[in-house]
Amino acid sequence: MGRYASVGAESTVTAADTTMVRVTAATTNRPKIYDVLWGASGTPADNALVFSLARTSTTGTEGGPVTPEPLDPADVAALADVGAGDFTIEPTQGAILIDEPVNQRASYRWVAAPGSELVIAATALLGIASQVKSAGYTGSAETSVFHEE
């Protein structure tokens, strides 16, 4: 079982949920999201951002595909499909699993308790997206998503 890291960003945060990284299962695996980091990378100010993890039922159109980096160099390539950054078409959002408001000057880390990882079904197109939104901040935000398969 391998563990992988994927990094993505949104160059312009808006008031609507925008995807920074999306992890989609293959029909032969069930990726588990176990650790996520979020933060604003724009000019410091005093704004609220809402970071979330949401189930998705389509992949959308990302700014670029991402190759998940194995945390152990001896692991094989990940089977999950990962897209990142500046999506031109957002994935179709389903249930929001985590929704965390954070001050722009702070970063936030979510780590699953053992056995509480967020599991993606082994079904084509299903996934989980790391998203951001803000009513007042229009700078950039970044995320690192760690999954196991």
Q: What pLDDT was estimated at residue 44?
A: 86
Task: Report residue 41 as tokens.
Answer: 């990378």
The type of residue at 101 is: P
Mean pLDDT within 29-33: 96
Each residue's pLDDT tens digit, 93-126:
999 999 999 999 999 999 999 999 999 999 989 9
Are 1 and 95 spatial neighbours (Cβ–Cβ below 8 Å)? Answer: no
Q: DSSP assignment of 6-28, as one string?
A: EEEEESS--SS-EEEEEEE--TT
Q: What pLDDT was estimated at residue 64?
A: 80
Token match 């989609």: residue? 24
Are 127 and 86 spatial neighbours (Cβ–Cβ below 8 Å)? Answer: no
3-class DSSP state for residue 1?
coil
The type of residue at 3 is: R
**Nearest alpha carbon to residue 63 among 94, 43, 41, 87:** 87
Residue 69: pLDDT band with limits 50, 70, 90: very high
Which class is 3-148 in CATH?
Answer: mainly beta
Residue ranges covered by each domain of the chain: 3-148
Beta-strand pair 93-103/118-119: unpaired
Are 132 and 17 spatial neighbours (Cβ–Cβ below 8 Å)? Answer: yes
Q: Could you tell me if residue 85 is left (phi over 0), alpha (psi between -120 and 50 degrees) or otherwise beta?
A: left
